[in-house]
Chain A
Amino acid sequence: MSKNADLFAAFFRVGMLGFGGGPSAIPLFEQEAVKKYKWMTSDEFGDTLALANTMPGPLATKMAGYIGYRVNGIWGCLVSLFASVVPTVILMIVLLGVLQQYKDVAWVDGMSEAVVPVVGVMLAILTLDFLKKSKDSLGWLRAVIYTAASIILMEVLGIHPAILIIIILVLVFLPLNKAGEPK
């Protein structure tokens, strides 16, 4: 029961503090699932994020739903989904009339604008974290090559991240891959 209460609290916070949609809430998910409740390691979080990015649909609900499922089965999944989705939907329906009047008001705009660079910093910190781990596990040379290749493929050539992740999955599972387990 307390597991469900933790899940609710965690994803309620993520939902209420994440401005700009699911993807901008990624650092908040990491804060709750890895740092605060230690439901998964930072590596597992990276894998979950990679897979969530490869699949279609909203990111936040895939993350919340899966983490909830892992922690406490179907009920954990439902509680997490409820916590991340329902409060903000209710807010949206209830406040619609009020917000319609306030949407161009300066202080509301100011609030959403001031959050943007802060989310940027949080994402940059996570980026450094992943780069450091790449260096630790791959060695700096391979880490630099892989990172550079990812930048060129995704940012310069505009290849969709889902395609790149699928290619990595296929390469890793190819029997010819000598780094894999022997048959």
Chain B
Amino acid sequence: MIYWQIFLAFFIPGILGYGGGPASIPLVEKEVVDRYGWMTTQEFGEVLALGNALPGPVATKMAGYIGYTEGGILGSAVALFASVAPSLILMIALMVTLLKYKDSPKVKNITKMIRPVIAVLLGAMALQFFMTSYDTSGSIQTIVLVIISYWLLEVRKMHPAYVILMALAYGALTGFF
């Protein structure tokens, strides 16, 4: 039963993958390539490269696309449901519980204690993005883009969407020269 297989192939990475979609990619590969043999490692790599070039969450693009190639529209829907629903239901249940007690000092304490952890997580991600940029675009381009985007975002208070669109346009132009 192909739909059951599709469900399992994306349910397992969804439940085991910590750290968001990109972190669960190796788990998806294990199911799709090793267990079910729907595509070769090479093909999986190509689909992943395309998924990374397009905007939006990576895990759902992979699930939606691979589900579609194996089981059509219904397969795509099953794969999306399997990768999204279980963790989302858990999340809503926990947040609703937490919010019920949001005036209790203990829950207020959680917010305070967790702030530094989130700051470090975000800081580490920022650093990782700077390093990736340094590796792929070099130091001068990275520094120039960092300074300009910081100026636009914080001094000019420009909406992030415009800053991203400008970066995309600039990136496309550099490809031509």
Residues of A bordering B, CB below 8 Å = 13, 15-28, 31, 43, 46-53, 55-62, 65-66, 69-70, 77, 81, 84-89, 91-93, 95-96, 99-100, 103, 105-127, 130-131, 133-134, 137-138, 143, 146-147, 149-151, 154-155, 160-162, 164-165, 168-169, 171-173, 177, 179-181
> Is B117 in contact with A161, judged by CB distance below 8 angstroms?
yes
* Known pairs A52-B91, A138-B112; A120 contacts B56 (CB<8 A): no
The 6 closest A-B pairs by CB, nearest first: A57-B87, A114-B171, A88-B56, A107-B175, A89-B64, A120-B129
Residues of A within 8 A of B24 (CB): 56-58
> Is A58 in contact with B90, judged by CB distance below 8 angstroms?
no
A20 to B112, CA, bound (A): 29
> Is A123 in contact with B172, judged by CB distance below 8 angstroms?
no
* Known pairs A62-B91, A168-B117; A17 contacts B54 (CB<8 A): no
> Is A46 in contact with B60, judged by CB distance below 8 angstroms?
no
Considering only CB atoms, which chain B residue lies closest to A36 in the complex? Answer: B159
> Is A18 in contact with B98, judged by CB distance below 8 angstroms?
no
> Is A105 in contact with B137, judged by CB distance below 8 angstroms?
no
> Is A117 in contact with B119, judged by CB distance below 8 angstroms?
no
Considering only CB atoms, which chain A residue lies closest to B106 in the complex? Answer: A180
Considering only CB atoms, which chain A residue lies closest to B90 in the complex? Answer: A55
> Is A150 in contact with B120, judged by CB distance below 8 angstroms?
yes
> Is A48 in contact with B95, judged by CB distance below 8 angstroms?
yes
Within 8 A of A (CB), among B160-177: 160-161, 163-165, 167-168, 170-176
Considering only CB atoms, which chain A residue lies closest to B146 in the complex? Answer: A117
The interface centre, meaning the residue of B50, B160, B167, B170 with most chain A CB atoms within 10 A of its CB, is: B160
Query: Could you say which of A24, A61, A93 contacts B88, with CB atoms under 8 Å apart?
Result: A61
Given A22-B57, A81-B84, A172-B106, 14 more pairs with CB closer than 8 A:
A15-B56, A55-B90, A60-B57, A84-B56, A84-B60, A89-B76, A92-B50, A103-B50, A114-B170, A117-B141, A123-B122, A127-B119, A151-B120, A180-B106
Q: List 27 A-B contacts (CB under 8 A).
A: A23-B21, A46-B111, A46-B115, A46-B118, A56-B16, A57-B87, A59-B21, A60-B56, A60-B57, A62-B91, A66-B95, A77-B88, A85-B56, A107-B172, A110-B173, A111-B171, A113-B133, A114-B141, A116-B133, A123-B122, A130-B115, A131-B119, A146-B116, A150-B116, A165-B117, A172-B110, A181-B104
A87 to B94, CA, bound (A): 28
> Is A65 in contact with B84, judged by CB distance below 8 angstroms?
yes
> Is B57 in contact with A85, judged by CB distance below 8 angstroms?
yes
A85 to B129, CA, bound (A): 23
> Is A123 in contact with B126, judged by CB distance below 8 angstroms?
yes
Question: Range of interface residues on chain B?
Answer: 35 or more
Against A, the Cβ 8 Å flags (1 = close, 0 = not) of B66-106 are 00100000001000100110111011101100100000111
* Known pairs A21-B20, A108-B175; A118 contacts B149 (CB<8 A): yes
Residues of A within 8 A of B98 (CB): 47, 51
A62 to B64, CA, bound (A): 17
> Is B117 in contact with A23, judged by CB distance below 8 angstroms?
no
> Is B116 in contact with A147, judged by CB distance below 8 angstroms?
yes
A81 to B87, CA, bound (A): 13
> Is A114 in contact with B174, judged by CB distance below 8 angstroms?
yes
Residues of A within 8 A of B141 (CB): 114, 117
> Is B106 in contact with A121, judged by CB distance below 8 angstroms?
no
A127 to B84, CA, bound (A): 27
